A and B are shown apart, each in its own frame.
Chain A
């Protein structure tokens, strides 16, 4: 048998890569010491895989598009208006909704870490937490938007919100033209995650 160390060293089935092994060791240590309940970890994961995600935020936006009184409440007290739909908790304790208008586009970043409004958007995507977005959103938002396929008119004002405190921002995108007569559920289908971060726009109705 030949030794084939340069080959498939990391590709055996059931072999953990070094970082997976490191996390498993940490979980093992904490479990053996009675400091964590592995079932609690399952419950946390299940929450963010199945219960909390950008569909929540889309419901908020669709309601704001449909109901002027709700939109006004969302503008004045986003934490309460969002809580009224049942979206509360960790990383959404303090909320501010920022509304795109015909002359201002809003975009949200956390240059210092990965602050993101979990109850309405779920866990942040990798790019949101990574250095390219965090470094450039505040200095070159139009260049960043171009990488998302978004081109704004040259005179559109761009407002970037750097989440430096525990206040979390939800962008309310412009309601697309041609969406008259759609119900809240249909409107929510037009609201993408990126449109609520400000790196996208709402979809056009089919």
Chain B
């Protein structure tokens, strides 16, 4: 979706302002936000693509006035309610009021190290050969889906070159909506700055994205 998350090339947000000797966390609640987000991910009720989509469906006004951990928690409240683990009555009361759905698993302290080490690989075996090879010229799709996608607006309907053929990767555009993993070949596609930004582009700039096969057509 053309949501607030799709930031590439947007203007007006000001300087980057890196913080010298930035702490890992800026408040104790950020630690709990990280932990709760990861621990509830272990339920197995949603996937990383659905969780990203829950964050990007915050309204622009809310997204842009929230810190990233706030965005995580707001997205998480949506997911927990959608999947029946937490109700609006629970949230209003600040304590457990309603019964909860049963998760596939609850992450216990003893299992944390193994779970973090395992992560969530998203490569999948492919039964079909890759359509493109390194060096092929391609054009990205022009579309404006209302659901989740990982093709940023700035890189739509642009001509680029396949730089690397990766592996079969879970397709976020369907996986986010529980319509299946539908793995597709993933490619690194590189674009000249001028192709993306046109007049005034930095002549030394190239930008790459990682694009699923269905985002691409031969050019």
| Chain A interfacial positions (CB closer than 8 Å to B) | 16, 19-30, 32-37, 39-45, 47-49, 53, 88-94, 109, 111-114, 122-123, 125-127, 129-142, 144, 147-148, 154-167, 194, 199
Contacts and interface: CB of A to CB of B under 8 A. Distances in A.
Interface residues of B, number: 94
B85 interface: yes
Nearest to A167: B210
8 A-B pairs closest in CB distance: A41-B35, A111-B8, A165-B210, A32-B96, A39-B109, A20-B29, A43-B112, A25-B94
Contacts of B155: 162
Contact of B16 (A32, A93, A94, A144): A144
Interface of B: 5-11, 13-19, 22, 24-29, 31-36, 38-40, 43, 48, 52, 55-56, 64, 67-68, 70, 73, 76-77, 80, 85-86, 90-91, 94-96, 99-100, 103, 106-109, 111-113, 115-123, 150-152, 154-155, 166-167, 169-170, 172, 186, 188, 190, 196-197, 202, 204-212
B119 A89 contact: yes
A167 B164 CA distance: 12
Given A111-B8, A132-B16, A139-B8, A36 B206 contact: no
Contact of B86 (A22, A26, A125, A129): A26
Contacts of A92: 119
Contacts of A47: 112-113, 116
A131 B64 contact: yes
A44 B38 contact: yes
Find the residue from B27, B38, B77, B91 having the highest chain A CB count within 10 A.
B38
A32 B93 CA distance: 13
A127 B16 contact: yes
